[in-house]
Structure 1
Amino acid sequence: MKQKIVHEQLLQQKMNKSLIQAINVLQFSSTELLEYIQQVTKDNPLIEEVSYDYELAEYRSNNSASTPFEDLNERTLSMSDQLKEQLYTININPEYKPIVNFGIDSLDDSGYLDITLDEWATQCETSLDKVEQALTYIQSLDPTGIGARSLRECIILQLKQMNLFQFYMEDLLDNKLAWVAEENLDAIANEYQITRADARKAIQAIQGCHPKPGTLLVEKKSEFIIPEAVVRKEAGEWRISFYSWSNPTITMDETYKDVHDVGQEAESYLKEKYNQVDWLQYVLTYRKNTLERVIYKIVEKQASFFEHGYFMLQPFTLQKIADELGVHVSTVSRAIRGKYVQTNYGVLPLKFFLQPGIKQRDGKFVAAFTIKKVITELVEFEDKHNPLSDEVIRMKIDNEFGIKIARRTVMKYREQLGIPSSMKRKVGGN
């Protein structure tokens, strides 16, 4: 009986290790995955061939403006470079870009802001309000926690992004962090009047956060963006075609699979290498299946975007997609990291499709990105001698786009975009 229990415990540990490794591979972008497969192939002499139905050469020939995969060693990207490349995915006012870039250049190696907001404002000769908005832009970039000013803020940003933040966690991080390190369930449960199960979830959530997110953006070669899938309309329906480079066909040399008279050391080596391929195929399948479920759900929820464009982007969050797929929010977060899909509007990061929303006066929800996009367009083409007031913008959004929001919402998003009031935008006259 005891031997059976020990065997089951060892089996459970092996399963947990395999799952952890599978989750790590889930985080890889297509480029990182290709590099990883190449490294495993190089280290395993029993792998004869790794083949793809759709070769990179064919993808490059159809996307000649992109950088070839083999030429990625021409330039390396620092943490700052990688963060600045993400700025195109957010709706940022050009006026803020130099302020944001200065903030990114002021991060330390761990990803923390290394100057005060007052120093930042002084160096950029701008207001504290604009610096605070610039910091919001930086803190919206990947990985979550970038731009934090303390470990406490870094962890809170990550908890909120995964919808795991609870009201008592600020005090726990400020005053009782030792309890988290000690995994003192009773002390946390008694202090905050919660169950031991909730205390355990809080500890796991906090321990699952990365204390130094900047280290996740180690200097690396410039990436050729390789999408996971292409979304196109066929026979009146939106269909998803997944590229096979995330799940290639691996051909093994089977010569030595049943050999048992080569000595114990050689036999153990062969067994290890065959098991390595089985494990590789397992983690690749796990990544493929998880990612396909996420992308299918995104396309289902964002069908109006694919049909009509940016103005029809729908609110959709990490938590909501996790709930609908029946997985943990951290799984979705890892699945979308560094992943792209090819659309009629270009190659877009999966993160783009997960947008917060606000409730309209009629009870319906609309993506914040959509409202900001509309505001930006209206202001860009307004009569500069008679600019639109917030109330007029609200009316136009209602009449022309059917989006019903309050004037204060227009003002809030206009300010977030760094767009001055109508009085300050007016050209000529007082």
Structure 2
Amino acid sequence: MRLGLHQSARMEQRLIQSPQMIQAMQILQLAGADLEERIEHELVENPFLEQVEGDGQSTAEPAPTPEGESERLNRTIDDLDQAWREIAGRDSGGRPSRAAASAGGEDEDLKLAAMNNTPARYHSLGEALADQIGLFDLAPRDRALAEYLAYSFDARGFLPEGVEEAARVCPLPGTSAEELQAVLSVLREQVHPALGARDLRECLLLQLEAHGEDEPLVRALVEHHLEDLTTNRLPRIAKATGATIEEIKHALEALRGLDPCPGREFGEERAAAITPDVLVDEQEGGYVVRLTRQRFPSLRLSGGYKELLKQGGNDPAVQQWIKKRVEAARWFLDALAQRESTLERIAKVIFERQHDFLDKGARALRPLRMQEVADATHVHISTVSRAVSGKYAQTPQGILPLKFFFTGGTTNDSGEVESQTSIKARIRDLIGKEDRDHPLSDDQIAEVLEKEQGVRIARRTVTKYRKALDIPSSAQRRAY
């Protein structure tokens, strides 16, 4: 076999994303709090952006005419959407992707995996404890060890590896398990008696000890029968302990006031307050969908750059720097306007489709897929996904994530398609009204839905929806 080098020519298409296009994609996905941060950052970094405040005088450049601005904005949106179509239709090697070939709904779009919701902001347990530790009367080394522990706890406030292992890997030289245990005892005394527990069992036992609980049956339930408690197997516990069901229920009351997650009070389970991005208001028998524009500062391009260009004279470096910053400011303003336009159009289509939900609640939610909204707004499904990611709407039924309104469904006996959310609401209602002494099994729920409400659904689907609602099984719901 002969080896050699050969030259050949071939033509191929490649999508080159400009920095402006990438910025527009990023701005589109930002949720409210993150967008506020981004705006503040741009105001600091770019001297040619300024905030509009009241009717104060400014040297700002006049805004483009509505016609010119609208035309430029529409071009930008079209360019961005075409980019999304190209990106979603190609894999990393530039070949058509399987997702593009299947052209399915949002469940089948492989690109959506990269467009998950922007994480909500949390105040971490470590930060919260570090703030409190600063108020304690501790020696410098003990304070450092306390902060080390604070950042070693998991989100529940547990220390799964135990004090011995935490001491072994502690970056402070010479740290012993005894020394670290003494500091942990201070945290338990000052903050929560179960901080640093290795698991749920130790967490509950520490709290029983702190509360002075000495009832043998209560401790026995935690030490030996915790798994049976979580699955409501009271008869099995009664057989093992010799106690009656009533005695076990009485002992359970002592456990109900205990905290299974000592870090939950200030940890990652506590989300920041939600400010909606979309408002849905009832007006004259209908609904008006609008954005919460007032939460963001109004920006414009400062006219001061013209004077700076004059002062820069013939210095090419100065001229180039000014022109780049001005262009960056213009593109940022365009990206903000594009985000607003895209989000508003998508929100209006969502609530046109979900009009009945606004009047009647979750049971009236109709099946809706992102592809349907994409088709109605003439954008790619990836654009819809980015636009709704991490965004919330304030509706007559409460504040809800925009992704809540996208759901699949099933056909009822009337030939109408009913959404998954609506079916879940039916299941929740049935369980809420059941006889606790004889709770409904998943088979019985499926039977009631079909015979009494005309919704044909498999038992395994009932199980799936019940678990999604975080509702225990019938055995766990049974009252003894």
Per the shorter chain, which TM-score range?
0.5 to 0.7
| 1:260 alignment counterpart | 310
* 1:337-375 deviation line (CA, Å, top 9, x unaligned): 111111233321111111121233443211112212221
* 1:122-155 deviation line (CA, Å, top 9, x unaligned): xxxxxxxxxxxxxxxxxxxxxxxxxxxxxxxxxx
| 2:139 alignment counterpart | none
Whose Rg is larger? 2
CA distance in 2, matches of 1:410, 1:206: 26
| 2:293 alignment counterpart | 244
Amino acid corresponding to residue 297 of structure 1 in structure 2: V
* 1:275-302 deviation line (CA, Å, top 9, x unaligned): 2221111101111111001110111111
| 1:309 alignment counterpart | 361
Gaps of 5+ in 1: 1-8, 54-161, 167-178, 186-196
Amino acid corresponding to residue 276 of structure 2 in structure 1: P
CA distance in 1, matches of 2:111, 2:322: 36
| 1:47 alignment counterpart | 49
Amino acid corresponding to residue 283 of structure 2 in structure 1: E
| 1:376 alignment counterpart | 428
For residue 349 of structure 1, the aligned residue among 397, 401, 412 is 401
TM-score (norm 1): 0.55
CA distance in 2, matches of 1:212, 1:240: 24
Shift in Å, 1:415: 5.7
Amino acid corresponding to residue 29 of structure 1 in structure 2: A
| 1:229 alignment counterpart | 278
Checking the alignment, whether the CA contact within 8 Å between 1:358 and 1:367 is kept in structure 2 is yes
CA distance in 2, matches of 1:318, 1:381: 34
Q: Are 2:5 and 1:38 aligned?
A: no
Amino acid corresponding to residue 19 of structure 1 in structure 2: M
Number of aligned residue pairs: 282
Checking the alignment, whether the CA contact within 8 Å between 1:31 and 1:223 is kept in structure 2 is no
Checking the alignment, whether the CA contact within 8 Å between 1:52 and 1:244 is kept in structure 2 is no
Judged with a 3 Å threshold, the aligned counterparts in structure 2 of structure 1 residues 211 and 297 are, in CA distance, closer, same or farther, namely closer
Gaps of 5+ in 2: 1-12, 56-84, 124-270
Shift in Å, 1:332: 0.8
CA distance in 1, matches of 2:115, 2:299: 36
Amino acid corresponding to residue 367 of structure 2 in structure 1: P
- Higher share of residues assigned helix: 1
Match runs of 1:184-203 below 5 Å = 201=100
| 2:24 alignment counterpart | 22
Q: Secondary structure at the match of 1:257?
A: helix
| 1:298 alignment counterpart | 350
Q: Are 2:406 and 1:404 aligned?
A: no
CA distance in 2, matches of 1:358, 1:51: 52
| 1:360 alignment counterpart | 412
Amino acid corresponding to residue 330 of structure 1 in structure 2: S
Shift in Å, 1:322: 1.5
**CA RMSD for the aligned pairs?**
4.2
Shift in Å, 1:406: 3.5
Q: Secondary structure at the match of 2:435?
A: coil
| 1:332 alignment counterpart | 384
Checking the alignment, whether the CA contact within 8 Å between 2:365 and 2:421 is kept in structure 1 is yes
TM-score (norm 2): 0.50
CA distance in 1, matches of 2:479, 2:433: 14
Shift in Å, 1:255: 3.5
